[in-house]
Amino acid sequence: MTTVLICDDRRSVREGLTRVMSAVPGVSRIDCVAHGDELLSRFSR
């Protein structure tokens, strides 16, 4: 399964991409962040 991490400062974009990606076969988890520093902290885990 695939995990997707969406990073965009606009909530509407994050929500739209989440809806689109949730329909993609094989995508099991979708996380969203608003800023690059949040993105980097997720990658360091």
1-45 per-position pLDDT tens digit: 899 999 999 999 999 999 999 999 999 999 999 999 999 998 776
Check: CB of residue 31 under 8 Å from CB of residue 6. yes
Closest C-alpha to 36, from 6, 2, 14:
6
Q: What is the pTM of this model?
A: 0.83
Domains of the chain, residue spans: 2-43
pLDDT of residue 45: 63
DSSP structural state of residue 11: H
Tokens, residue 44: 């360091």
Q: How far apart are CA 27 and CA 24, in angstroms?
A: 6
